[in-house]
Chains A and B, each alone.
Chain A
């Protein structure tokens, strides 16, 4: 509850602040005006334009992506019974980024037919497919017959990440200057340039994973006991595992497609939540979505104001904030369990 309230306030704050000052009051007034309600705050045409065309879609995308990254992180950690299983560590992000980069660089040579067919949908669809393929590969590599081995999972993740990384590097080597600028965006992540079109593109996928994953909360709790135990409790374990991997690939793949690789949200947020509400996925999953959304718009606020009018890629902000936390987790986990 507190999280939801905090989220609303931060959203208003993020709408109201930036290179062009608007203020929370006028921000509410502009949004209300859009729906035909007049509020006693004055705002200018320029402010209205900035808010509706730039800041609002950016905010919505930030909320969706932040929520999706965090909830996917929580689901991954549950699936692998390991709080260090970030979607990035098991290859989803790098697979998605590789696919996206491949589309950007090779769009006009190799994928011209596809690009004609699918238009704007090609890039996010490719990113989703890339994320899916990479995570499936990692999963298969780590699957030792009847049980999934966590350490070989992480090793397989490292291997696939390295492979995707060098393939991405090769594509960057082949890219021209224009493409290079676009590519930089993928490697560091940014909400810059988000418009309503990208929100419309990503929202169905992101919402699907945001809404569906909490439905699997009971199953994820049971999976923490072990896969066999979850099966004994009557959960169709194999189908649930597939569903989770698919929804996570969908959420993370779409996020990477729209905003590039934004690290650590999926790792750090569920952990903070576990400290607050415990490991029960019925609270953890929706809570992670809220806190992830909150943290991402705060990080985006920092990204666009710290060096204004220039922008720091948001992946750098989350990385700087996330890495020390990750180290702290490693130490804490040794002593207390998750």
Chain B
């Protein structure tokens, strides 16, 4: 389990996260939603160890995060950043192989390359393996980066659980690839019983793929639970300050479907029903 225990993150006088407690269980997909500036990325950065909370602790597989060696941590959790700074002309395969750098001493070169190629296949980027990364489109880059992160935690680390932290993994993707990426995350959680935390803006994607949804607002955790419990119109309207109707997905009656309204001048009374 990867847990945030009552963490508070401050930068200067500004409180980005205020006493947030959240547990990521093995085998589940946990979506984190919330308006811009709610502290979603901050939470992810704290849970990945990139950022040390002002107070509170992050515990991974039974031990506080700072007590793991960086190399051990690298074998237990992968982090997909929102966007990557890579501006040098690496081949796509080389980029994915960087995800295998924690294993350069423990695995053969061939093994690492096989895994890198499998990860590329999985993210539908196998055909790009020999291309130069900087010549790819934004969506292709995002999938290649996902392949890199998957390659990093491809195999279980002994008995220890693995975790995948995704910061807006679908932001640059078209409809089909958005679903492909979340299906990969879903399958990864099911087959490896890995815990997947994904920051998502599309609440319907969250409803379709997540076991639980956590709602952040102004640095506080407002609600966490199954999509049916969390995606209720009062909460969503209040958090996002926008009118919505929650219906049912016509194909999957268990799954809530969020239907946004069209804004009109004159206040909520004049919203089109």
| Sample of 11 further A-B pairs with CB below 8 A, known A280-B90, A338-B134 | A224-B87, A225-B85, A225-B95, A226-B84, A231-B50, A232-B74, A232-B78, A233-B74, A233-B99, A274-B89, A279-B89
B11, B70, B94: the one within 8 Å of A236 (CB): B70
Considering the complex, give the chain A residue whose CB is closest to the CB of B88: A279
Q: Which chain B positions have C-beta within 8 A of A274?
A: 88-89
Q: Which chain B positions have C-beta within 8 A of A336?
A: 89, 134
Instruction: List residues of A (227-270) whose CB comes within 8 Å of B's CBs.
Output: 228-229, 231-236
Top 7 A-B residue pairs of the complex, sorted by shortest distance between their CB atoms: A234-B74, A279-B88, A337-B134, A234-B71, A232-B79, A226-B85, A234-B70
Q: Which chain A positions have C-beta within 8 A of B85?
A: 81, 224-226
1/0 contact string of B218-233 vs chain A (CB within 8 Å): 0000000000000000
Instruction: List residues of B (23-71) whose CB comes within 8 Å of A's CBs.
Output: 45, 48-51, 69-71
Q: Which chain A positions have C-beta within 8 A of B74?
A: 232-234
Q: Give, as a whole number of angstroms, the nearest-CB distance from B174 to chain A.
A: 23
Interface residues of A (CB under 8 A from B): 81, 83, 145-146, 218, 221-222, 224-226, 228-229, 231-236, 274, 278-280, 336-338
Residue B98 CB within 8 A of the other chain? yes
Interface residues of B (CB under 8 A from A): 11, 45, 48-51, 69-75, 77-79, 81, 84-91, 94-95, 98-99, 101-102, 104, 134-135, 152
Given A146-B51, A231-B70, A234-B70, A337 contacting B89 (CB threshold 8 A): yes
Could you tell me the distance between the alpha carbons of A332 and B105 in the complex, rounded to whole angstroms?
A: 37
14 A-B residue pairs with Cβ-Cβ distance under 8 Å, sorted by A, are: A224-B85, A225-B86, A225-B95, A226-B84, A228-B79, A228-B81, A231-B70, A234-B73, A234-B101, A278-B89, A278-B94, A280-B90, A338-B89, A338-B134
Could you tell me the distance between the alpha carbons of A232 and B166 in the complex, rounded to whole angstroms?
A: 12
Q: Which chain B positions have C-beta within 8 A of A81?
A: 85, 87-88
Which of A222, A231, A232, A337 is the most central at the interface, judged by chain B CB atoms within 10 Å of its CB? A232
Which of A83, A229, A337 is the most central at the interface, judged by chain B CB atoms within 10 Å of its CB? A229
Complex contact B87–A233 (CB within 8 A) = no
Complex contact A225–B134 (CB within 8 A) = no
Considering the complex, give the chain A residue whose CB is closest to the CB of B85: A226
A224, A232, A236: the one within 8 Å of B48 (CB): A232
B11, B69, B79, B91: the one within 8 Å of A278 (CB): B91
Considering the complex, give the chain B residue whose CB is closest to the CB of A77: B88
Q: Which chain A positions have C-beta within 8 A of B50?
A: 228, 231-232
Q: Which chain B positions have C-beta within 8 A of A145?
A: 11
**Number of cross-chain contacts by CB at 8 Å:** 83
Q: Which chain A positions have C-beta within 8 A of B81?
A: 226, 228-229
Q: Which chain B positions have C-beta within 8 A of A235?
A: 70, 101
Complex contact A278–B70 (CB within 8 A) = no
Considering the complex, give the chain A residue whose CB is closest to the CB of B69: A234
Q: Which chain A positions have C-beta within 8 A of B77?
A: 232
Could you tell me the distance between the alpha carbons of A83 and B89 in the complex, rounded to whole angstroms?
A: 11
Could you tell me the distance between the alpha carbons of A116 and B104 in the complex, rounded to whole angstroms?
A: 49
Q: Give, as a whole number of angstroms, the nearest-CB distance from B65 to chain A.
A: 12
Q: Give, as a whole number of angstroms, the nearest-CB distance from B181 to chain A.
A: 18
Which of B81, B86, B91, B152 is the most central at the interface, judged by chain A CB atoms within 10 Å of its CB? B86
Considering the complex, give the chain A residue whose CB is closest to the CB of B132: A337
Complex contact A221–B91 (CB within 8 A) = no
Q: Give, as a whole number of angstroms, the nearest-CB distance from B113 to chain A.
A: 14
Complex contact B88–A224 (CB within 8 A) = yes
B84, B87, B152: the one within 8 Å of A337 (CB): B87
Which of A218, A222, A226, A234 is the most central at the interface, judged by chain B CB atoms within 10 Å of its CB? A234
Q: Which chain B positions have C-beta within 8 A of A232?
A: 48, 50, 74, 77-79, 152
Q: Which chain B positions have C-beta within 8 A of A280?
A: 90, 94
Q: Which chain A positions have C-beta within 8 A of B51?
A: 146
Given A222-B101, A229-B79, A233-B74, A278 contacting B84 (CB threshold 8 A): no
Q: Which chain A positions have C-beta within 8 A of B135?
A: 337
Q: Give, as a whole number of angstroms, the nearest-CB distance from A268 to chain B.
A: 17
Could you tell me the distance between the alpha carbons of A81 and B81 in the complex, rounded to whole angstroms?
A: 17
Could you tell me the distance between the alpha carbons of A145 and B52 in the complex, rounded to whole angstroms?
A: 13
Considering the complex, give the chain A residue whose CB is closest to the CB of B74: A234
Could you tell me the distance between the alpha carbons of A226 and B85 in the complex, rounded to whole angstroms?
A: 6
